[in-house]
Structure 1
């Protein structure tokens, strides 16, 4: 770890989530440039190792496979590993660590029924009683998020899926509470809308309803919350889907 990285980590631990937005942007820029630098270092280092192996094996071995001498094979393998690491492994790790959202869903029944509690990224939510409600605390931002429209869609009109008193001043619910808008989020700030699910009557023998969180940021519409469920599902990006089972 570089001295700059150590200082930034120390400051992160001291300040927790109470950090200035300017500092957050600098932190992200440093992290991103550090990934690029690390990739270049690994790629360069792999070729150094390949050259050393070539000289060592040239003096110690004279064998070959399919006419290719062992030193040449060693150079090729190490070089390919270096290229793969720099062009695929590190960028993939960086993407995984900095996706706009990583979802964690925790369902808490309003009544004391411990068997209803669910904690999963994709799972089944069981509603056993008509009119029963549960709440869910969803979403942890993992990168800089600026202006994401998320619409809540239920495939069954008898199962209502709405935002109920979102926590945090950076969240704006839709007029009909069927979605919310995030703005100016910063790294590691927790987004905690409270989502309300209520079943007005028995689902019956039909297919289980599905609750969707849909990113509709790139869908054209006049006013927030006026997209139909079908249009949101067709043109938006599904972020999370949860099955409701009786």
Structure 2
């Protein structure tokens, strides 16, 4: 019973709004420091790759963007399942705000992949199994954004988007395993959780920094935009009006000082 009480507490927009505000600086500041520090470290201090030269350095943006884009989709699909099963409106809000963030990360992944592909393959684009499946991921995100805008009724929009998100989740293992299942120009994963990673430690450390930073920044954006969505949907509720009225005198006093 205690576990279910905790679960339903997280589903409360009021509790989430109050609690998430305390987390924002703990995600934004370390996220920025890790991502910027990792990029500077990787771009300026790591030696060139013996095969790819300096072109490999795009991984410090490309890999985190691609990894978090896939993780964001699974997070969105999980929120979709929670909304369909337990009818939690907070899960529908999270699902809505994750879609544009995930689409932006997927677009960044495609662009940086093209920048890397030109000197490596001699072309900006190939209909490679992994690249094509990532493009499908981008269209799935866009489809969910479009569905949200197509319905006037929020509940109907949430149900339609939830179904698409769950069905589209089958694309994530296809993206991950595509380089193993089909002939692919795209190199296999360099970081492996099972077995030995093929990336040198001097390259891996800054990559892990940018990857961690990207995940923290993703969490920060999700909390930030979910809070904005809560304000939009709950603006007529008593608890939110009381909270805003309570905060307003303190803000006025600070401006006067």
The question of a shared fold, defined as TM-score above 0.5 by the shorter chain, is answered with no
Higher relative contact order (CA 8 A, sep 6+): 2
Q: Going by fraction, where is strand more abundant, 1 or 2?
A: 1
Is the radius of gyration larger for structure 1 or structure 2?
Answer: 1
TM-score (structure 1 length as normaliser): 0.30
Q: Going by fraction, where is helix more abundant, 1 or 2?
A: 2
TM-score (structure 2 length as normaliser): 0.29
